[in-house]
Amino acid sequence: MLNVLVLGDIISRVGRNSLKSKLSGLKKRLNVDICTANVENSAGMFGISEKVIDEISKSGVDVMTSGNHVWDKRAGIELLDLREDILRPANYPPGNPGHGYLITESRGVRIAVINLQGRTFMPTIDCPFRSADTILSEIPKDVRVRIVDFHAEATSEKVAMGYYLDGRVSVVAGTHTHVATADERILSGGTAFITDVGMVGASDSIIGVKKEQVIKRFLYALPVRFEVAYGNPRIEGLFVEIDDETGRASKVERIREETGDFVADER
């Protein structure tokens, strides 16, 4: 049996500090074998940087996935070709930096981690469903544990991906909206699914941003500079037990770990 922890979007320093203070204990309590997290918002809400990625890795994240914001910092884009443990969505057109999946190992078990991005209300890129088919045809058949981060806006597209990959992957975990959904389950083919795992950031916020700024934008329909919120931070994610012989999930549990208030700058 392999224990997998999939974490939501890490929001700036507040999210990184949450990982630093609590992830080690959480992994020990759940006996986690591999931990993934989405890092596209980890450096000041937009993009990634070498310092930030090193910090997240040292906190205990084994594989870092991403989404549309991974392209927001030039230095971060360069990291995509330099580090094997950072993924960008596989269905960006060929020729882009980086890679969309990797095969790693834990306790002698080979594990595939796949990063895909939706197209509904998102940038127009290649089809994530057909990209998934291509990747699965490339992954050796003996790699039975397969984890998918599907970074998408529309709940319908995420649910469709879950059913499309049911029985062919171990986990389909949605990211991007920063709001954890309550639909975690194991589909009929043995795939663990959740529409969105949530975020690693301040729960006293609107998707990680100071509440008053977002409300002001809705009230007046004018541009507002968003700043990171840092009240009542928490770690949100999905814990899955997987039979490493079959790749089928046997247990799924939504994770919400309060990490305690602290003062942080907003970078």
CA–CA distance, 198 with 238 (Å, rounded to integer): 9
CA dist 151 and 116 (Å) reads 6
Catalytic residue of the set 69, 151, 176, 178: 69
Cβ contact 17:233 at 8 Å: yes
Report the sign of the C-alpha dihedral through residues 39, 33, 91, 175, in that order: negative
Is residue 99 among the annotated active site residues? Answer: no
Among candidate residues 230, 248, 261, the one with its CA nearest the CA of residue 13 = 230
Residues annotated as catalytic are: 69
